[in-house]
């Protein structure tokens, strides 16, 4: 058996961080088992599906490094759904129902008013041919429901949640086709999973009840179901389900300077007891991926943790990986010098401006100005071909007796305009002799 997973977004909007996590885990599980990861565009909703969102989905997956091994679209498979639907109708597992939305709403309210669960009463199954014909004559087109088998409980061993059990008698027969002929999610998804030979369905825990009904659809269509993994949903740092998470997508993370490797590293591990680590290469994450390590508690997504992780990722990136995103003139040596002080690659431009100048004059104390005048004279005499920073500070320490902060801070302020920053031994050669002398002379 070739492990085959699928990510099946609807192109009615952009992907959010919860979608990205689902896609990532499907991809990782497939890669961990030498299997296939498929992208399925669930675009049966023709009114709301847009091609620009399809392109956005592909681009977002590519940004994360999730390359599908194949792609399908539900809009190209309507004939297949018709054929399999006809099988259900012939077998008595799909039936027409004529209640209006208002009538169904009234039934639900009556049941809830009596303290009963709002389960559909299957009144449509009791209609005679004459009654159905009368509805048709009124102009009522039926919607179609899948008839659940009430005889046996629905059970499966979920890869995350463990043993699951549903009693079909407590569930409404799900609507699988609207009165206008369009399909709802449940039935086409089952047909696709059968035809695409999906072995594992990985999705959020909000689909657990859907799985219960879909398992009976697989059986009604004569197919073995895939294994299911229902993951806990993401929550915000405040510990509650957050609407904000629904708006966090790739564009947000890009604009925030987040590297895709950082998002992958975080989403791969949150929800488990494993530590979140800054892996630039996803191979270790894939090797250790196991649904048994995921808990049922909500997975907390913390943007502050992501930002910290991002900095650790940036500190590992080589020059070749970032060269096209750096300001003109930044060399490999410059990248190595400024990289340890970056939280995002975009910040490299700030430090490159420090190197190239001009810099904002620093607020220097009166007692430091004579010292900087001496520093300017010393800097003009040292050898700049090797290690000018240690040559300069060594000479000044011997001449003035200054050491530690009193020695280093005035020099850093005069040369960079900032109290903190990259290692001056690496930064000073980038600034260069002439610019350094000019800055020291200006500071005095």
User: In Å, what is the CA distance from 277 to each residue of 188, 268, 306, 318?
Assistant: 39, 10, 11, 18
What are the φ and ψ backbone dihedral angles of 248, each rounded to 5 degrees? -90, 105
Q: What is the DSSP letter of 292?
A: G
CB 364 within 8 A of CB 410: yes
- Beta-carbon count within 10 A of 285 CB: 21
Burial (CB count <10 Å: 0-12, 13-18, 19+), residue 199 = buried
d(CA 179, CA 96): 9
Q: Are strands 36-41 and 227-231 parallel, antiparallel or unpaired?
A: unpaired
For 272, the 3-state DSSP assignment is strand
d(CA 212, CA 208): 7
Helix (H) or strand (E) segment spanning residue 200? strand 200-204
d(CA 394, CA 379): 11
For 95, the 3-state DSSP assignment is strand
Q: Is 243 annotated as a binding residue?
A: yes
* Residues placed in the known binding site for ATP: 243
* Residues placed in the known binding site: 243
């Amino acid at each position: 058996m070739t492990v085959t997973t699928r990510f099946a977004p609807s192109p009615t909007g952009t992907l959010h961080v919860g979608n990205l996590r689902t896609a990532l885990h499907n991809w990782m599980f497939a890669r961990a088992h030498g299997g296939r990861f498929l992208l399925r565009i669930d675009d049966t909703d023709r009114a709301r599906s847009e091609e620009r969102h399809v392109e956005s989905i592909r681009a977002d997956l590519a940004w994360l490094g999730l390359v599908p091994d194949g792609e399908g679209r539900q809009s190209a498979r309507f004939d297949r759904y018709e054929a399999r639907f006809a099988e259900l109708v012939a077998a008595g597992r799909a039936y027409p129902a004529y209640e209006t939305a208002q009538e169904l709403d009234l039934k639900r309210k009556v049941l809830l008013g009596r303290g009963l669960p709002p389960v559909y009463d299957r009144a449509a199954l009791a209609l005679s041919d004459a009654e159905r014909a009368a509805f048709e004559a009124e102009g009522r087109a039926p919607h179609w429901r899948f008839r659940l088998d009430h005889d046996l409980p629905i059970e499966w061993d979920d890869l995350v949640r463990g043993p699951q059990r549903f009693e079909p008698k407590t569930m409404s027969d799900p609507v699988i086709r609207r009165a206008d002929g369009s399909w709802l999610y449940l039935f086409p998804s089952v047909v696709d999973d059968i035809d695409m030979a999906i072995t594992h369905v990985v999705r959020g825990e909000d689909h657990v009840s859907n799985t219960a009904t879909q398992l009976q659809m697989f059986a009604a269509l004569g197919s073995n179901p895939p294994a299911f993994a229902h993951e806990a949903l993401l929550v915000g740092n405040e510990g509650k389900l957050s609407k904000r998470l629904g708006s966090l997508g790739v564009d947000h993370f890009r604009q925030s300077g987040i590297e895709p490797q950082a998002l992958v590293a975080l989403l791969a591990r949150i929800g488990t007891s494993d530590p979140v680590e800054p892996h630039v290469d996803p191979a270790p994450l894939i090797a250790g991926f196991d649904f048994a390590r995921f808990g049922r508690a909500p997975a907390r997504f913390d943007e502050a943790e992501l930002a910290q992780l991002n900095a650790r990722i940036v500190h590992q990136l080589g020059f070749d990986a970032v060269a096209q995103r750096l300001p003109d003139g930044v060399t490999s040596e410059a990248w190595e010098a400024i990289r340890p002080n970056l939280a995002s690659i975009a910040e490299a431009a700030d430090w490159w401006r420090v190197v190239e100048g001009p810099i904002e004059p620093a607020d220097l104390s009166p007692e430091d100005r004579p010292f900087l005048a001496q520093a300017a004279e010393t800097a003009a005499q040292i050898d700049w071909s090797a290690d000018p920073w240690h040559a300069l500070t060594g000479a000044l320490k011997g001449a003035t007796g200054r050491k530690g902060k009193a020695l280093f801070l005035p020099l850093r302020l005069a040369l960079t305009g900032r109290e903190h920053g990259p290692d001056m031994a690496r930064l000073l050669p980038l600034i260069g002799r002439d610019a350094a002398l000019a800055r020291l002379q200006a500071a005095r």
